[in-house]
Amino acid sequence: MFSDLHPLPLDPLWALQNAHRDDPRPHKLNLGIGIYRDAHGHTPVLNAVQHAERSLAEAAPSKVYRPLSGNADFTAAMTRLLLGEHTPTLDRAVTVQTVGGTGALRTLADLIASAHPDATVWTSNPGYANHHPLMRAAGLLTAEYPWQDDGTGTTDLRPMLSALDAAQPGDILLVQGCCHNPTGIDLSQESWHALAQHCQGRGLIPLVDMAYQGLGQGLTEDAQGLQIMTRHLGTVLIAASCSKNMGLYCERTGTATVLVPQPSEKAAVLSVLEGIARRTYSMPPEHGAAIAAALLNTPHPWHQELGAMRDRIRTVRTQLGHALRDAGAPHDLLTIEHHQGMFSLLPLTPEQMDTLRDHHAIYGTREGRINIAGIPDHAITPLAHALIAVYGR
Ligand code: PLP
Ligand code: TYF
Protein backbone atom coordinates (compact mmCIF):
# COMPACT_ATOMS: atom_id res chain seq x y z
CA MET A 1 0.00 0.00 0.00
CA PHE A 2 2.74 2.48 0.88
CA SER A 3 5.46 1.34 -1.53
CA ASP A 4 4.85 4.26 -3.89
CA LEU A 5 5.16 6.86 -1.15
CA HIS A 6 8.30 8.93 -0.90
CA PRO A 7 9.41 10.86 2.16
CA LEU A 8 8.39 14.50 1.99
CA PRO A 9 10.99 17.18 2.58
CA LEU A 10 11.21 18.20 6.25
CA ASP A 11 9.30 21.42 7.12
CA PRO A 12 11.97 24.10 6.55
CA LEU A 13 11.44 25.52 10.05
CA TRP A 14 12.08 22.14 11.68
CA ALA A 15 15.05 21.55 9.38
CA LEU A 16 16.42 24.87 10.62
CA GLN A 17 15.77 23.84 14.26
CA ASN A 18 17.70 20.61 13.69
CA ALA A 19 20.59 22.37 11.95
CA HIS A 20 20.83 24.80 14.87
CA ARG A 21 20.68 21.96 17.40
CA ASP A 22 23.54 20.16 15.66
CA ASP A 23 25.74 23.27 15.28
CA PRO A 24 28.67 22.99 17.74
CA ARG A 25 29.49 26.73 17.72
CA PRO A 26 28.83 28.06 21.25
CA HIS A 27 27.67 31.52 20.13
CA LYS A 28 24.99 30.10 17.75
CA LEU A 29 21.72 32.01 17.66
CA ASN A 30 18.33 30.46 16.84
CA LEU A 31 16.08 33.10 15.26
CA GLY A 32 14.09 30.55 13.26
CA ILE A 33 10.95 29.13 14.83
CA GLY A 34 8.42 31.61 16.21
CA ILE A 35 8.58 31.24 19.97
CA TYR A 36 9.05 33.94 22.59
CA ARG A 37 12.28 33.77 24.57
CA ASP A 38 13.28 35.82 27.59
CA ALA A 39 16.52 37.82 27.91
CA HIS A 40 18.39 34.58 28.72
CA GLY A 41 16.97 32.62 25.81
CA HIS A 42 14.41 30.60 27.80
CA THR A 43 10.70 30.05 27.15
CA PRO A 44 9.36 29.43 30.65
CA VAL A 45 5.76 28.52 31.48
CA LEU A 46 3.97 31.74 32.56
CA ASN A 47 3.40 32.07 36.33
CA ALA A 48 -0.30 32.64 35.63
CA VAL A 49 -0.38 29.36 33.71
CA GLN A 50 1.41 27.47 36.52
CA HIS A 51 -1.05 28.92 39.00
CA ALA A 52 -4.02 27.85 36.87
CA GLU A 53 -2.54 24.37 36.43
CA ARG A 54 -2.11 23.93 40.19
CA SER A 55 -5.71 25.02 40.80
CA LEU A 56 -6.95 22.65 38.12
CA ALA A 57 -4.97 19.75 39.58
CA GLU A 58 -6.29 20.44 43.08
CA ALA A 59 -9.89 20.79 41.97
CA ALA A 60 -9.46 17.63 39.85
CA PRO A 61 -12.70 18.01 37.97
CA SER A 62 -13.77 14.93 36.06
CA LYS A 63 -12.20 14.13 32.71
CA VAL A 64 -15.44 12.95 31.15
CA TYR A 65 -16.04 13.93 27.54
CA ARG A 66 -16.79 17.58 26.90
CA PRO A 67 -19.00 19.22 24.24
CA LEU A 68 -17.83 19.09 20.63
CA SER A 69 -17.52 22.89 20.71
CA GLY A 70 -15.13 22.75 23.67
CA ASN A 71 -14.94 24.65 26.95
CA ALA A 72 -17.75 27.22 27.01
CA ASP A 73 -16.05 29.54 29.57
CA PHE A 74 -13.04 29.66 27.30
CA THR A 75 -14.92 30.26 24.05
CA ALA A 76 -17.09 33.00 25.62
CA ALA A 77 -14.07 34.83 27.05
CA MET A 78 -12.15 34.50 23.78
CA THR A 79 -15.08 35.93 21.84
CA ARG A 80 -15.04 39.01 24.09
CA LEU A 81 -11.25 39.33 23.80
CA LEU A 82 -11.52 39.29 20.01
CA LEU A 83 -14.68 41.32 19.40
CA GLY A 84 -14.57 43.59 22.46
CA GLU A 85 -16.67 43.70 25.64
CA HIS A 86 -20.25 45.01 25.43
CA THR A 87 -20.50 45.11 21.65
CA PRO A 88 -23.64 44.13 19.72
CA THR A 89 -21.45 42.00 17.44
CA LEU A 90 -21.22 39.47 20.31
CA ASP A 91 -24.84 38.49 19.58
CA ARG A 92 -23.90 37.51 16.04
CA ALA A 93 -20.88 35.37 16.94
CA VAL A 94 -20.44 31.61 17.14
CA THR A 95 -17.15 30.39 18.65
CA VAL A 96 -15.81 26.86 18.98
CA GLN A 97 -12.61 25.71 20.65
CA THR A 98 -9.99 24.39 18.23
CA VAL A 99 -6.68 22.54 18.21
CA GLY A 100 -4.54 25.70 18.27
CA GLY A 101 -4.67 28.46 15.69
CA THR A 102 -3.82 25.88 13.03
CA GLY A 103 -6.89 23.86 13.95
CA ALA A 104 -8.97 27.05 13.80
CA LEU A 105 -7.74 27.77 10.28
CA ARG A 106 -8.47 24.21 9.16
CA THR A 107 -11.91 24.15 10.82
CA LEU A 108 -12.83 27.40 9.09
CA ALA A 109 -11.43 26.10 5.79
CA ASP A 110 -13.69 23.04 6.13
CA LEU A 111 -16.65 25.32 6.92
CA ILE A 112 -15.92 27.42 3.83
CA ALA A 113 -15.64 24.24 1.76
CA SER A 114 -19.07 23.13 3.04
CA ALA A 115 -20.76 26.47 2.35
CA HIS A 116 -18.96 27.67 -0.77
CA PRO A 117 -16.62 25.01 -2.22
CA ASP A 118 -15.67 27.18 -5.22
CA ALA A 119 -14.31 30.01 -3.07
CA THR A 120 -10.72 31.07 -3.60
CA VAL A 121 -8.80 31.99 -0.46
CA TRP A 122 -6.57 35.04 -0.98
CA THR A 123 -3.52 35.15 1.23
CA SER A 124 -0.58 37.54 1.55
CA ASN A 125 2.75 37.18 -0.23
CA PRO A 126 4.98 36.97 1.70
CA GLY A 127 2.77 35.24 4.21
CA TYR A 128 2.45 32.50 6.79
CA ALA A 129 4.00 29.36 5.35
CA ASN A 130 1.09 27.12 6.35
CA HIS A 131 -1.81 29.18 4.93
CA HIS A 132 -1.76 27.68 1.41
CA PRO A 133 -1.32 24.06 2.55
CA LEU A 134 -4.08 24.40 5.15
CA MET A 135 -6.60 25.89 2.73
CA ARG A 136 -5.74 23.46 -0.07
CA ALA A 137 -6.04 20.50 2.30
CA ALA A 138 -9.71 21.48 2.65
CA GLY A 139 -10.05 21.45 -1.14
CA LEU A 140 -10.07 25.22 -1.57
CA LEU A 141 -8.23 27.18 -4.24
CA THR A 142 -5.70 29.78 -3.13
CA ALA A 143 -4.36 33.00 -4.64
CA GLU A 144 -2.06 35.75 -3.41
CA TYR A 145 -1.99 39.48 -2.87
CA PRO A 146 1.23 41.43 -2.23
CA TRP A 147 2.14 42.49 1.30
CA GLN A 148 4.76 45.20 1.31
CA ASP A 149 5.92 48.24 3.22
CA ASP A 150 4.54 51.59 2.05
CA GLY A 151 7.77 53.24 3.20
CA THR A 152 6.43 54.16 6.65
CA GLY A 153 6.36 50.67 8.18
CA THR A 154 2.71 49.90 7.34
CA THR A 155 1.22 47.85 4.52
CA ASP A 156 0.90 49.42 1.08
CA LEU A 157 -2.78 48.96 0.29
CA ARG A 158 -2.70 49.93 -3.39
CA PRO A 159 -0.97 46.83 -4.83
CA MET A 160 -2.97 44.68 -2.44
CA LEU A 161 -6.32 46.07 -3.61
CA SER A 162 -5.39 45.92 -7.26
CA ALA A 163 -4.50 42.21 -6.93
CA LEU A 164 -7.84 41.69 -5.20
CA ASP A 165 -9.59 43.14 -8.27
CA ALA A 166 -9.41 39.61 -9.65
CA ALA A 167 -11.32 38.18 -6.65
CA GLN A 168 -14.92 37.01 -7.10
CA PRO A 169 -17.82 37.72 -4.73
CA GLY A 170 -17.77 35.06 -2.01
CA ASP A 171 -13.99 34.68 -2.14
CA ILE A 172 -12.16 34.71 1.19
CA LEU A 173 -9.65 37.40 2.15
CA LEU A 174 -7.29 35.73 4.62
CA VAL A 175 -5.56 38.55 6.47
CA GLN A 176 -3.46 38.51 9.64
CA GLY A 177 -4.95 40.68 12.38
CA CYS A 178 -1.66 41.97 13.82
CA CYS A 179 2.08 41.26 14.05
CA HIS A 180 2.22 39.88 10.50
CA ASN A 181 4.20 36.67 10.08
CA PRO A 182 6.80 36.90 8.49
CA THR A 183 7.13 40.63 7.75
CA GLY A 184 6.15 42.46 10.97
CA ILE A 185 4.34 44.96 8.69
CA ASP A 186 0.72 45.68 9.69
CA LEU A 187 -2.21 47.61 8.23
CA SER A 188 -2.86 51.15 9.50
CA GLN A 189 -6.32 51.89 10.95
CA GLU A 190 -7.19 53.80 7.75
CA SER A 191 -6.19 50.79 5.67
CA TRP A 192 -8.36 48.49 7.79
CA HIS A 193 -11.30 50.80 7.10
CA ALA A 194 -10.51 50.86 3.38
CA LEU A 195 -10.14 47.08 3.34
CA ALA A 196 -13.47 46.60 5.14
CA GLN A 197 -15.10 48.85 2.53
CA HIS A 198 -13.44 46.92 -0.26
CA CYS A 199 -14.75 43.63 1.16
CA GLN A 200 -18.23 45.09 1.45
CA GLY A 201 -18.18 46.50 -2.08
CA ARG A 202 -16.83 43.29 -3.66
CA GLY A 203 -18.64 40.75 -1.50
CA LEU A 204 -15.39 39.32 -0.10
CA ILE A 205 -15.44 37.52 3.25
CA PRO A 206 -12.55 38.33 5.61
CA LEU A 207 -10.88 35.52 7.51
CA VAL A 208 -8.77 37.23 10.16
CA ASP A 209 -5.90 35.15 11.56
CA MET A 210 -5.10 36.34 15.11
CA ALA A 211 -2.03 34.47 16.26
CA TYR A 212 -0.26 37.28 18.16
CA GLN A 213 -2.89 39.38 19.94
CA GLY A 214 -1.19 41.36 22.72
CA LEU A 215 2.34 41.01 21.37
CA GLY A 216 2.20 44.15 19.20
CA GLN A 217 0.68 47.24 20.83
CA GLY A 218 -1.56 45.61 23.43
CA LEU A 219 -4.49 43.19 23.68
CA THR A 220 -7.11 45.85 22.88
CA GLU A 221 -5.00 47.77 20.39
CA ASP A 222 -4.08 44.65 18.42
CA ALA A 223 -7.76 43.80 17.92
CA GLN A 224 -8.68 47.23 16.48
CA GLY A 225 -8.30 46.18 12.86
CA LEU A 226 -10.30 43.00 13.40
CA GLN A 227 -13.02 45.02 15.14
CA ILE A 228 -13.22 47.46 12.24
CA MET A 229 -14.07 44.41 10.13
CA THR A 230 -16.58 42.98 12.60
CA ARG A 231 -18.37 46.31 13.11
CA HIS A 232 -18.78 46.98 9.39
CA LEU A 233 -19.37 43.56 7.86
CA GLY A 234 -22.07 40.95 8.29
CA THR A 235 -19.88 37.90 7.83
CA VAL A 236 -16.36 37.63 9.29
CA LEU A 237 -14.35 34.51 10.14
CA ILE A 238 -11.69 34.60 12.89
CA ALA A 239 -8.96 32.08 13.71
CA ALA A 240 -7.32 32.76 17.09
CA SER A 241 -4.37 31.15 18.84
CA CYS A 242 -3.32 31.15 22.52
CA SER A 243 0.05 29.62 21.64
CA LYS A 244 2.14 32.78 21.76
CA ASN A 245 0.26 35.26 23.95
CA MET A 246 -0.24 32.68 26.74
CA GLY A 247 2.81 30.56 25.95
CA LEU A 248 0.54 27.51 25.57
CA TYR A 249 2.23 26.29 22.37
CA CYS A 250 2.09 22.53 22.90
CA GLU A 251 -1.31 22.59 24.62
CA ARG A 252 -2.85 23.38 21.21
CA THR A 253 -5.35 25.98 22.33
CA GLY A 254 -7.29 28.23 19.98
CA THR A 255 -10.72 29.22 18.71
CA ALA A 256 -12.66 29.57 15.47
CA THR A 257 -15.25 32.34 15.46
CA VAL A 258 -17.88 32.94 12.81
CA LEU A 259 -19.75 36.22 12.73
CA VAL A 260 -23.04 35.90 10.87
CA PRO A 261 -25.29 38.73 9.62
CA GLN A 262 -28.35 37.51 11.59
CA PRO A 263 -28.37 35.73 14.98
CA SER A 264 -30.88 33.28 13.46
CA GLU A 265 -28.06 31.85 11.31
CA LYS A 266 -25.96 30.88 14.31
CA ALA A 267 -27.51 27.49 15.02
CA ALA A 268 -26.79 26.09 11.57
CA VAL A 269 -23.20 27.39 11.58
CA LEU A 270 -22.58 25.92 15.05
CA SER A 271 -23.92 22.53 14.00
CA VAL A 272 -21.68 22.46 10.91
CA LEU A 273 -18.64 23.44 13.04
CA GLU A 274 -19.49 20.69 15.53
CA GLY A 275 -19.86 18.24 12.66
CA ILE A 276 -16.37 19.17 11.41
CA ALA A 277 -14.95 18.55 14.90
CA ARG A 278 -16.83 15.26 15.24
CA ARG A 279 -15.48 13.78 12.03
CA THR A 280 -11.95 15.10 12.59
CA TYR A 281 -11.02 14.61 16.27
CA SER A 282 -14.41 14.49 18.05
CA MET A 283 -13.64 17.17 20.63
CA PRO A 284 -10.76 19.50 21.38
CA PRO A 285 -8.45 18.89 24.38
CA GLU A 286 -9.67 20.44 27.64
CA HIS A 287 -6.45 21.22 29.52
CA GLY A 288 -5.16 24.22 27.56
CA ALA A 289 -8.66 25.68 27.28
CA ALA A 290 -9.22 25.40 31.04
CA ILE A 291 -5.92 27.20 31.67
CA ALA A 292 -6.75 29.88 29.10
CA ALA A 293 -10.21 30.38 30.61
CA ALA A 294 -8.58 30.97 34.01
CA LEU A 295 -6.19 33.54 32.51
CA LEU A 296 -8.97 35.32 30.62
CA ASN A 297 -11.35 35.41 33.59
CA THR A 298 -8.71 36.56 36.12
CA PRO A 299 -6.79 38.68 33.67
CA HIS A 300 -4.50 40.87 35.77
CA PRO A 301 -1.56 38.46 36.32
CA TRP A 302 -1.67 37.33 32.69
CA HIS A 303 -1.84 40.91 31.39
CA GLN A 304 1.27 41.74 33.42
CA GLU A 305 3.26 38.83 32.05
CA LEU A 306 2.05 39.44 28.51
CA GLY A 307 2.98 43.12 28.91
CA ALA A 308 6.47 42.08 29.98
CA MET A 309 6.83 39.88 26.87
CA ARG A 310 5.60 42.68 24.63
CA ASP A 311 7.90 45.23 26.30
CA ARG A 312 10.88 42.95 25.89
CA ILE A 313 10.22 42.45 22.18
CA ARG A 314 9.93 46.20 21.67
CA THR A 315 13.05 46.91 23.72
CA VAL A 316 15.04 44.35 21.73
CA ARG A 317 13.78 45.96 18.50
CA THR A 318 14.81 49.41 19.66
CA GLN A 319 18.20 48.21 20.88
CA LEU A 320 18.86 46.32 17.67
CA GLY A 321 17.90 49.47 15.75
CA HIS A 322 20.34 51.54 17.82
CA ALA A 323 23.10 48.97 17.41
CA LEU A 324 22.53 48.96 13.62
CA ARG A 325 22.58 52.77 13.47
CA ASP A 326 25.73 52.97 15.59
CA ALA A 327 27.43 50.52 13.25
CA GLY A 328 26.40 52.54 10.18
CA ALA A 329 23.71 50.24 8.79
CA PRO A 330 21.97 51.19 5.53
CA HIS A 331 18.38 52.45 5.66
CA ASP A 332 16.97 49.12 4.38
CA LEU A 333 18.08 47.32 7.54
CA LEU A 334 16.66 50.00 9.84
CA THR A 335 13.05 49.35 8.77
CA ILE A 336 12.95 46.61 11.43
CA GLU A 337 12.49 49.43 13.96
CA HIS A 338 8.95 50.07 12.64
CA HIS A 339 7.79 46.45 12.62
CA GLN A 340 5.23 44.92 14.99
CA GLY A 341 5.35 41.71 16.97
CA MET A 342 7.82 38.85 17.00
CA PHE A 343 9.04 38.87 13.42
CA SER A 344 10.86 41.00 10.90
CA LEU A 345 11.62 40.14 7.32
CA LEU A 346 15.15 41.26 6.48
CA PRO A 347 16.00 42.47 2.98
CA LEU A 348 18.60 39.67 2.71
CA THR A 349 18.64 37.14 -0.14
CA PRO A 350 18.44 33.38 0.63
CA GLU A 351 22.18 33.19 -0.14
CA GLN A 352 22.90 36.00 2.33
CA MET A 353 20.80 34.17 4.95
CA ASP A 354 22.97 31.09 4.26
CA THR A 355 26.07 33.22 4.81
CA LEU A 356 24.61 34.53 8.06
CA ARG A 357 24.23 30.91 9.19
CA ASP A 358 27.55 29.58 7.84
CA HIS A 359 29.83 32.46 8.86
CA HIS A 360 28.04 33.86 11.91
CA ALA A 361 26.01 30.92 13.32
CA ILE A 362 22.82 33.00 13.08
CA TYR A 363 19.76 30.98 12.04
CA GLY A 364 16.84 32.76 10.36
CA THR A 365 14.64 31.42 7.58
CA ARG A 366 15.97 31.53 4.00
CA GLU A 367 13.23 34.07 3.13
CA GLY A 368 14.93 36.39 5.61
CA ARG A 369 12.62 36.10 8.60
CA ILE A 370 14.15 36.55 12.04
CA ASN A 371 12.40 36.07 15.36
CA ILE A 372 13.09 39.30 17.26
CA ALA A 373 11.63 37.68 20.40
CA GLY A 374 14.37 35.04 20.16
CA ILE A 375 17.32 37.44 20.55
CA PRO A 376 18.96 37.26 23.99
CA ASP A 377 20.27 40.60 25.29
CA HIS A 378 23.93 39.67 24.87
CA ALA A 379 23.44 38.88 21.17
CA ILE A 380 22.00 42.23 20.03
CA THR A 381 25.24 44.00 19.12
CA PRO A 382 26.93 40.96 17.52
CA LEU A 383 23.76 40.40 15.47
CA ALA A 384 23.80 44.00 14.22
CA HIS A 385 27.44 43.66 13.14
CA ALA A 386 26.80 40.32 11.44
CA LEU A 387 23.82 41.74 9.52
CA ILE A 388 25.91 44.63 8.23
CA ALA A 389 28.83 42.34 7.38
CA VAL A 390 26.53 40.15 5.24
CA TYR A 391 24.23 42.78 3.75
CA GLY A 392 26.76 45.58 3.27
CA ARG A 393 26.55 49.22 4.25
N1 PLP B 1 -1.29 31.81 12.09
C2 PLP B 1 -0.12 32.45 12.08
C3 PLP B 1 0.01 33.71 11.30
C4 PLP B 1 0.96 31.93 12.80
O5 PLP B 1 2.14 32.56 12.75
C6 PLP B 1 0.80 30.73 13.53
C7 PLP B 1 1.91 30.14 14.29
O8 PLP B 1 3.01 30.53 14.23
C9 PLP B 1 -0.44 30.11 13.51
C10 PLP B 1 -1.46 30.67 12.79
C11 PLP B 1 -0.69 28.79 14.20
O12 PLP B 1 -0.72 28.88 15.56
P13 PLP B 1 -0.82 27.57 16.48
O14 PLP B 1 0.57 27.25 16.89
O15 PLP B 1 -1.68 28.00 17.62
O16 PLP B 1 -1.43 26.49 15.68
O1 TYF C 1 5.96 30.43 11.97
C2 TYF C 1 6.31 29.79 12.96
O3 TYF C 1 7.43 29.91 13.42
C4 TYF C 1 5.28 28.88 13.64
C5 TYF C 1 5.89 27.73 14.37
O6 TYF C 1 5.16 22.52 12.33
C7 TYF C 1 5.68 26.35 13.81
O8 TYF C 1 4.33 28.49 12.72
C9 TYF C 1 6.35 25.91 12.67
C10 TYF C 1 6.19 24.64 12.17
C11 TYF C 1 5.35 23.78 12.82
C12 TYF C 1 4.65 24.19 13.96
C13 TYF C 1 4.84 25.47 14.45
Q: Does 188 fall in a domain? A: yes
**Which ligand 1 atom is the nearest neighbour of the CA of 243?**
15
Res 64 pLDDT > 90: yes
Strands 141-146 and 120-125, sheet pairing = parallel
Those residues with Cβ within 8 angstroms of residue 276's Cβ, 6 or more apart along the chain or in another chain:
107, 110, 111, 114
Question: CB of 70 within 8 A of CB of 95?
Answer: no
Query: Do 174 and 266 fall within a single domain?
Result: yes
**Which ligand 2 atom is the nearest neighbour of the CA of 32?**
3
Is the C-beta atom of 33 inside 6 A of ligand 2?
Answer: yes
Res 152 pLDDT > 90: no
**342 vs 60, higher pLDDT:** 342
Which is it for the CA torsion 332, 337, 341, 343, positive or negative? positive
Res 165 pLDDT > 90: yes
Those residues with Cβ within 8 angstroms of residue 229's Cβ, 6 or more apart along the chain or in another chain:
192, 195, 196, 199, 206, 208, 236
Q: Does 56 fall in a domain? A: no
The CATH number that applies at residue 18 is 3.90.1150.10
Task: Pick the ligand that lies closest to the CA of residue 108.
Answer: 1
Query: Do 222 and 316 fall within a single domain?
Result: no
Q: What is the DSSP string of 341-369?
A: SSEEE-S--HHHHHHHHHHH-EE--TT-E
Residue 228 domain boundaries: 67-297
pLDDT at 264: 97
pLDDT tens digits along 307-340: 999 999 999 999 999 999 999 999 999 999 999 9
Distance from Cα 195 to the centre of ligand 1, integer Å: 23
Rounded distance, CA 17 to CA 33, Å? Answer: 7
Q: Does 54 fall in a domain? A: no
With a pLDDT cut of 70, the percent of the chain lying above it is 100
Q: Whose CA is nearest to atom 1 of ligand 1?
A: 211
Strands 343-345 and 369-371, sheet pairing = antiparallel
Q: What's the rounded mean pLDDT across residues 98-113?
A: 98
Which of 18, 33, 181, 370, when mutated, tests ligand 2's pocket best, judged by the most ligand atoms within 8 Å of its CB?
33
pLDDT class of 60 with cuts at 50, 70, 90: confident
Query: Do 284 and 205 fall within a single domain?
Result: yes
| Phi, psi for residue 198 in degrees, rounded to 5 | -60, -45
Domain count, the chain: 2
With a pLDDT cut of 90, the percent of the chain lying above it is 97
Query: Do 214 and 270 fall within a single domain?
Result: yes
The CATH number that applies at residue 122 is 3.40.640.10
Distance from Cα 331 to the centre of ligand 1, integer Å: 30
Query: Do 224 and 240 fall within a single domain?
Result: yes
Q: What's the rounded mean pLDDT across residues 168-184?
A: 98
pLDDT at 151: 86
Distance from Cα 166 to the centre of ligand 2, integer Å: 30
Rounded distance, CA 260 to CA 238, Å? Answer: 12
Those residues with Cβ within 8 angstroms of residue 57's Cβ, 6 or more apart along the chain or in another chain:
none
Beta strands in 81-220, from DSSP E residues, in sequence order = 93-99, 120-125, 141-146, 172-176, 205-210
Query: Do 189 and 76 fall within a single domain?
Result: yes
Last residue of some domain: 297, 320, 337? 297
Query: Do 78 and 173 fall within a single domain?
Result: yes
Q: Whose CA is nearest to atom 3 of ligand 2?
A: 34
Q: What's the rounded mean pLDDT across residues 131-147?
A: 98
Q: What 3-state DSSP class applies to 360?
A: helix
Q: Does 5 fall in a domain? A: no
The Cβ-side half-sphere exposure at 112, using a 13 Å CA radius, reads 36
Last residue of some domain: 297, 317, 352? 297
Which of 10, 11, 13, 244, when mutated, tests ligand 2's pocket best, judged by the most ligand atoms within 8 Å of its CB?
13
Query: Do 308 and 367 fall within a single domain?
Result: yes
Output the ligand 1 site: residues, CB below 6 A: 34, 100-102, 128, 176, 181, 209, 211, 241, 243, 254
Query: Do 280 and 384 fall within a single domain?
Result: no
Q: Does 215 fall in a domain? A: yes
**Which ligand 2 atom is the nearest neighbour of the CA of 182?**
1
Query: Do 310 and 287 fall within a single domain?
Result: no
Which of 128, 176, 213, 248, when mutated, tests ligand 1's pocket best, judged by the most ligand atoms within 8 Å of its CB?
128
Q: What's the rounded mean pLDDT across residues 232-246?
A: 98
Q: What 3-state DSSP class applies to 149?
A: strand
Query: Do 174 and 248 fall within a single domain?
Result: yes
Amino acid, single-letter form, for residue 141: L
Beta strands in the chain, from DSSP E residues, in sequence order = 29-30, 93-99, 120-125, 141-146, 172-176, 205-210, 236-241, 253-259, 343-345, 362-363, 369-371
Task: Pick the ligand that lies closest to the CA of residue 246.
Answer: 1
Q: Does 216 fall in a domain? A: yes
Is the C-beta atom of 371 inside 6 A of ligand 2?
Answer: no
Task: Pick the ligand that lies closest to the CA of residue 128.
Answer: 1
Query: Do 122 and 216 fall within a single domain?
Result: yes
Q: What is the CA radius of gyration of the chain?
A: 21
Neighbours of 6 (CB within 10 A): 5
Last residue of some domain: 252, 282, 297? 297
- Residue-averaged pLDDT of the chain: 97
Which of 102, 130, 183, when mutated, tests ligand 2's pocket best, judged by the most ligand atoms within 8 Å of its CB?
130
Task: Pick the ligand that lies closest to the CA of residue 103.
Answer: 1
Q: Does 53 fall in a domain? A: no
Burial of 187 (0-12, 13-18, 19+ CB in 10 A): buried
